[in-house]
Structure 1
Amino acid sequence: MGNALLDFAINHKKTITQKYLEVGHTHMECDSVHANIEKKVKNKPIFLPSFYLTATETARSKPMPYLAKWMNYDEFIDYSDSSKYRFKSLRAGTNKVVDLRAIKYTPGGEVLYKTNFDQEWQILPQRMIQVAAPITWNKLNKEPRKISASKFKHLQELKPVIPKDCHAYYDNIPHFT
């Protein structure tokens, strides 16, 4: 995952900070986002995946609505080709993953880390592998993923309780026959 985040930071000229939970501290910023979205969808009819996107965007109004992006099957990237990795592994010296508190990936290709939130960022003590830039990654899926024939059949059986204007979605789900 670190190689994928570093590649994104370089290509999109963004700094990414990846934070880890501290032992005994189980709250992260994303927890409140998740709770807001759960509240929004609780006891609400959800007939289409797009309903979740709308619920996510409207789960918070202040200071601003959440941003959500619909992802299509062809937008997912396969980062499993290790020959394109800039690092064989992201190890912070003698520290173990459980010792890390944060990792920062910069547009300049630096990877920095902290083992304590109060300390200054330290450069990852590893050399980057030189790879041809920009890296071209393969798409994860060449076509939409198919569901099983039995799952498709079960979804068709639900149509009597789903509004008719949603039926076309269920009729067109890619499936095995």
Structure 2
Amino acid sequence: MVDERRTQNEVALYCDSCAGQNKNKAMIVMLYYFMQYHASFVERLTINFLIPGHTMMPVDSVHATIEGFIQKRTIYAPSEWQTLIGNARTNPKKYETILLKNNEIKDWNSYATAFLPNKIKIQTSKLRNARFEKGDKFYLKYDYDGPEQAIEMSLILRSRQNQQAIREPKTAYTEKLPISKARYEDLKKMCEKGIIPEFYTKEYLDLPCDRNTRDALPETDEDED
């Protein structure tokens, strides 16, 4: 979106050091891919990883605003979340929300495995900054004031096998992910008893379910040690 506005040709991203969400090879590869194949106006893109324990950012205020807003609301169905999140703030304007479809989510983990094999030594846990520009290199820093390490993609892409493997990231999901059969039955009973209003029951009864699917706890968002 910033690239399409054509107002800033340098973009700096800031995030915490949560390995599962931000600080990993998938993020690095995704940003490199954007710069090579999709950036038309942005000339330089950097991502900065804040030191664990010192990661207070504007996004934390966004999360707090949304959490405070929804605590006073009754939410019956998943489809309501986009409207609720957008209305959590009114000044200076509503939050802008983007609803993603299943086929818009790419498998960046598999793409990163092919793109950056283990022989390419990147110490993601110590990473502090990564810089991307047009070309076959990107640059890493393990100290904010330290030297940059250049990663030359031309060496990795030399073989035809690698070129085929990383031509395009695959779609992560071909259909809606199922919930567990037990959870589906619980939701069905809530619909039958009227705990979930009739207006919303179809949304739940149409959910795919599978006996082999297990309920899982959400991934932690804690910083690395």
Q: Same fold (TM over 0.5)?
A: yes
Change (3 A) 1:54 1:37: same
Where does residue 12 of structure 2 map in the other structure?
none
Where does residue 19 of structure 2 map in the other structure?
none
The partner residue of 1:66 within 73, 95, 107 is: 95
Give the secondary-structure state (helix, strand or coil) at the position aligned to 1:158: helix
> Does the Cα contact within 8 Å between 1:11 and 1:107 map onto a contact in 2?
no
Partner amino acid for 1:147? I
> Does the Cα contact within 8 Å between 1:12 and 1:107 map onto a contact in 2?
no
Partner amino acid for 2:32? L
Q: Aligned ranges for residues 90-169 of structure 1 at < 5 Å?
A: 96-108=123-135, 110-115=137-142, 119=145, 123-128=148-153, 129-130=156-157, 132=163, 135-159=167-191, 160-169=194-203
Give the secondary-structure state (helix, strand or coil) at the position aligned to 1:139: coil
Question: TM-score, normalising length from structure 2?
Answer: 0.62
Quick one: distance in 2 between partners of 1:19 and 1:140? 26
Partner amino acid for 2:188? Q
Give the secondary-structure state (helix, strand or coil) at the position aligned to 2:35: helix
Does the alignment pair 1:3 with 2:37?
A: no
Point out where structure 1 has 5 or more consecutive residues left out of the alignment: none
- Greater CA drift, 157-166 or 61-70: 61-70
Change (3 A) 1:104 1:36: farther
Q: Give 1:154 deviation, angstroms.
A: 0.4
Over the matched positions of the two proteins, sequence identity in percent amounts to: 24
Where does residue 172 of structure 1 map in the other structure?
206
Q: Give 1:67 deviation, angstroms.
A: 2.2
Where does residue 85 of structure 2 map in the other structure?
56
- Greater CA drift, 150-159 or 23-32: 23-32
Deviations, residues 46-91 of structure 1 (Å, cap 9, x unaligned):
1222222122222233344322211222221112145741x44676
Change (3 A) 1:60 1:110: farther
> Number of aligned pairs?
171
